[in-house]
Structure 1
Amino acid sequence: MTLVDTSTGIAQRIAATIDPVFAVIEEWRTRVEQALEADDDPRAASFDPLVADLVAGELERPGTLITGAGFVAAPGFLPDAPWHLAWWLSGASPFRVEQTGGGLRRLDAVSDPDAEAFRDYTTLEWWRVPARTGRRHLTGPYVDYLCTDDYTVTITTPVVVDGEMAGLVGADVYVARLEQALLPVLRAADRTCTIVNASGRIVASTDTHRATGALLRLDGLADALAPLREAEAEGRATDAAPLPGGADVVPCGDTSLALVVE
């Protein structure tokens, strides 16, 4: 087997690890859209229990990568909650666990725009990019001070009702959990392997000196990743590319992640 074949195989295994998360989120999107389309006057008070039931099974499933999930409404979409996050955290999430005692629990988000702690979520990447492209987006890794207080990957996709974006559904995945799942895959190669997002930020690496969230600085990497960013916005896959120093950049399916093999 050639090095290219090995790299492609590893990239495919990375995609196969993450694709089930995408599939779950897509199912949630479909069911949320159906529920909203069937409701002439959706309200947070009646809609939130539906979202809780929708995500609870996955959040409590043993072995799931997802540690938080839910629905975020477009400002003003819900008359009784102009700014609204219906987001739940699993018992595996330590975020604010000392205040709740653990177990499945709802994120205590500040929804009053006049409050000092209020944060306009429409300015954040996980909202901003799907709102612009109309497509799924993977944000991170980043330290999520809103939901997890740890390095996180957030995957979000728009919810559309009557041709308008009503909000989005999504999920949080701890990078530490991704590393546990992906590092054994990366170690199948006899060269240094690093997973990066479309901006070149490190998700996981067999090089222990490469920190999560840091930019991977290799000659030509930014140019090699540019088609990956374009492909994500258009909902398509892209091709592998060599770097001047001899490394290869291999897309991991349509996850918007890439495998860098040196």
Structure 2
Amino acid sequence: MSQSPGLVGDAATTSAGSAEEGVSAQVARRLEAVFDSVAETCADTAELLVRVAAEGRRPVTADLAALRPGLHLRLARDELVSGAGFITAPGLLTDVPAWLEWWQTSAEGVLRPLLPDLDPGRSAYSDYTHWDWFALPRDAGRRALSGPYVDYLCSDEYSLTLSAPVRVAGRFAGVAAADVYLRHFEAVVLPLLRRLPGPAHLVNARGRVAASADPAHLAGSLTRGPDFTAVLERGRAQMCGATRLVPCRGVPLVLVVATG
């Protein structure tokens, strides 16, 4: 018995939708593991700051050394993570105006601390509070994915930064974060995107392309038009003209697939 063209079309649409949902779920799972590491840094930092407050004093940079064993463990555990740490809100510490307790893995696999110059008289990067990876968690109160961008502060690599706010007694203390080099992220997700029947790319909440198998949308460029924040908030796939938007559930990325 032959099928009607309508039934064939419905089956093809369902199959494509299932493939897109599968890819978005795999991307979400991989990034969720990185966000789990960020959450562990959040918990360690909040616990440390509460302990310092219980001693009747404010924290100093030396106190943040207690975070290092956990940061080293997370860097060794997740090969996608190239850097991890806690970035203070200005004024949190009494001995310096700003600080990054940040560790990263060198090309040789060696763990090393980042020692940035945060003197406003010498460094163009002394004020990090306007960068998305800091500002979005501070202002929205939730985790964020920023980039890709050239990370001049930490690595000079094209990177993604996953971050989340650290709050103590209801007050913003800074952000916990993890860096993922874009080349490592693309190695994981591009084979998934290429399985889809139409050109596909991934964007963050602001429409910045995080990875792409679509030559019309290069990594780092902006995809304009759809409200990607609204798509993430709804948490379900939708059509926008001839484009299908599929949220990567639980993480702030949207899979964008051309269907026509």
- TM-score in terms of structure 2 length: 0.86
Q: Unpaired segments of 5 or more residues in structure 1?
A: 94-101, 232-236
Residue 216 (structure 1) aligned to one of 183, 208, 223 = 223
2:69 counterpart letter in structure 1: D
Residue 168 (structure 1) aligned to one of 163, 175, 194 = 175
The secondary structure found in structure 2 opposite 1:38 is helix
Q: Unpaired segments of 5 or more residues in structure 2?
A: 1-13
Aligned counterparts of 2:177 and 2:41: Cα–Cα separation in 1: 8
CA spacing shift, 1:91–1:250, aligned 2, 3 Å: same
Aligned counterparts of 1:83 and 1:188: Cα–Cα separation in 2: 45
The secondary structure found in structure 1 opposite 2:164 is strand
**How much has 1:116 moved relative to structure 2?**
4.3
Q: Which residue of 2 aligns with 1:253?
A: 249
Q: Which residue of 1 aligns with 2:10?
A: none
Aligned-residue CA RMSD in angstroms?
2.0
Structure 1 range deviating more: 116-125 or 1-10: 116-125
Structure 1 range deviating more: 104-113 or 28-37: 104-113
**How much has 1:42 moved relative to structure 2?**
4.5
**How much has 1:186 moved relative to structure 2?**
1.6
Identity in percent: 35
**How much has 1:223 moved relative to structure 2?**
2.6
Are 2:147 and 1:140 equivalent residues in the alignment?
Answer: yes
Aligned counterparts of 1:105 and 1:226: Cα–Cα separation in 2: 36
**How much has 1:209 moved relative to structure 2?**
5.8
Aligned counterparts of 2:216 and 2:156: Cα–Cα separation in 1: 22
Contact 2:202 2:254 (C-alpha < 8 Å) held by counterparts? yes
**How much has 1:106 moved relative to structure 2?**
1.1
Q: Which residue of 2 aligns with 1:234?
A: none
CA spacing shift, 1:146–1:181, aligned 2, 3 Å: same
Q: Which residue of 1 aligns with 2:43?
A: 30
1:39 counterpart letter in structure 2: V
1:84 counterpart letter in structure 2: W
Are 2:99 and 1:87 equivalent residues in the alignment?
Answer: no
The secondary structure found in structure 1 opposite 2:70 is helix
**How much has 1:208 moved relative to structure 2?**
4.6
**How much has 1:31 moved relative to structure 2?**
1.5
Structure 1 range deviating more: 81-90 or 198-207: 198-207
Are 2:52 and 1:39 equivalent residues in the alignment?
Answer: yes
Aligned counterparts of 1:192 and 1:76: Cα–Cα separation in 2: 47
Aligned counterparts of 2:243 and 2:175: Cα–Cα separation in 1: 37
1:93-121, CA deviations, whole angstroms, 9 ceiling, x for partnerless residues? 8xxxxxxxx72111121232333445211
The secondary structure found in structure 2 opposite 1:33 is helix
Aligned counterparts of 2:146 and 2:98: Cα–Cα separation in 1: 21
Aligned counterparts of 1:108 and 1:165: Cα–Cα separation in 2: 23
Aligned counterparts of 1:45 and 1:165: Cα–Cα separation in 2: 17
Structure 1 range deviating more: 35-44 or 170-179: 35-44
**Correspondences of 1:1-262 after superposition (within 5 Å):** 2-40=15-53, 41-61=57-77, 64-92=79-107, 103-208=110-215, 210-216=217-223, 222-228=225-231, 231=233, 238-244=235-241, 246-262=242-258
Q: Which residue of 1 aligns with 2:3?
A: none
1:16 counterpart letter in structure 2: R
CA spacing shift, 1:224–1:129, aligned 2, 3 Å: closer
The secondary structure found in structure 2 opposite 1:66 is coil
- TM-score in terms of structure 1 length: 0.85
The secondary structure found in structure 1 opposite 2:82 is strand
